[in-house]
Amino acid sequence: MTDSAVKPSLIIRQYNSLTPYEDRFLEMKALTEQRNENTPDELWILQHHDVLTQGQAGKPEHILMASSIPVVQTDRGGQVTWHGPGQLVAYFMFDLNRLGWNVRTLVSYAENLMIELVKKYGIEAYAKPDAPGVYVNERKIGSLGFKIRKGRSYHGLALNIDCDLSGFHTINPCGYAGLEMVRIQDLVENYPKFENLCVDMIATLQNSGYFKEVRVEQR
């Protein structure tokens, strides 16, 4: 646990309308490059317009067919994935050195955050040591990919709520051929919406003990 004298502040942005991937990508990259040891950490919770994002080492053959969905080259780890309406995305602009975390700590925190979010609604999810992300009965419900620059993270996680899965059908999700994706909607009758999960995620961060204060901004 972070010593109380050096605990950072956290700003959480909740976007209540769809937001373009490229805009947020450029903004979080700039924030990470410009921040200093006193800059508060930030977490952005949002949904994107339809987009395929290709990881830094992404192989073009994992995009299986041409479609109307734009493809954006990005600098996170991992292969190609899809984002769009009905999928909760959370971006972590954290100073890992200040938190006393390493990359594995961050990945485990993001995976456990998704596991706890869906557990509240009766879904038993789990992480895999050999394939980052969160799974339910071998189907993937949550993905993640980060970029670390000078000990500071950006990019983050994506949790499928009630999105149209057809975007995933145009790719090998995260580079795994035949990987089946699943949504919260497929597993729970009265499933939580994006707004419900935002409330849950914000409460989890507020009660995490890692931050001296958590400020929430609605966008």
Q: Specify the DSSP class assigned to residue 21.
A: H
Residue 87, annotated ligand binder? no
- Parallel, antiparallel, or unpaired for β 41-46 and 9-14? parallel
- Determine whether the annotation assigns residue 169 to a binding site: no
178 among annotated binding-site residues: no
The response to whether 158 counts as a known ligand-binding position is: yes
> Is 205 annotated in some ligand binding site?
no
Quick one: angle between helices 194-206 and 103-119, nearest 10?
A: 130
Tokens of 133: 């992300």
- Close Cβ partners of 213 (under 8 Å, ≥ 6 residues apart): 9, 10
Q: Which of 134, 171, 174, 214 is catalytic?
A: 174
Q: Is 79 annotated as a binding residue?
A: yes
Q: Is 108 annotated as a binding residue?
A: no
* 8 A C-beta contact, residue 216 and residue 10: no
- For residues 186 and 123, give the distance between their C-alpha atoms in angstroms, rounded to a whole number: 11
174 is catalytic: yes
For the annotated catalytic residues, the residue numbers are: 174
Binding site as annotated, residues for substrate:
76-83, 143-145, 156-158
